[in-house]
Amino acid sequence: MQDYVTKQMLTDLGINVPNEDAESLLTHLNEKIEEMIGTEITDALDDTQLEELIKLQDDGSDDEIGEWIAKHVPDYQEIVQDNIDIALGEMVDKADNINESVKDE
């Protein structure tokens, strides 16, 4: 799994969680972003492309999958950034609650 969001990014947004809580939060957040990106990519593909991608995911390397996506999903970087922004926006909206719950522990 790729780290789309780091602890430093959370800190920069005013979300202050201890390291032991940050790891769990970041894992959840990065998995959510990865799922959102995957959904958006699969929605953009036709049936033939989707079958190709599924076969490549079963048999190919990460590099091959990345090259295939770059070729068939030209706005991939925009999709990634949009979904990171959405997830971080949700975190900022919840920042006060997150920071408060950490203080109470």
The pLDDT of residue 105 is 56
pLDDT tier at 99, thresholds 50, 70, 90:
low
Over residues 4-31, the pLDDT tens digits come to 999 999 888 888 888 888 888 899 999 9
Nearest to 87, CA basis, from 38, 23, 32, 43? 32
Instruction: Round to whole Å and give the CA distance between 33 and 2.
Output: 10
54 against 100, higher pLDDT:
54
The pLDDT > 90 percentage for the chain reads 60
Q: Give residues with Cβ within 8 angstroms of 72, minimum separation 6.
A: 45, 49, 52, 53
pTM as predicted: 0.81
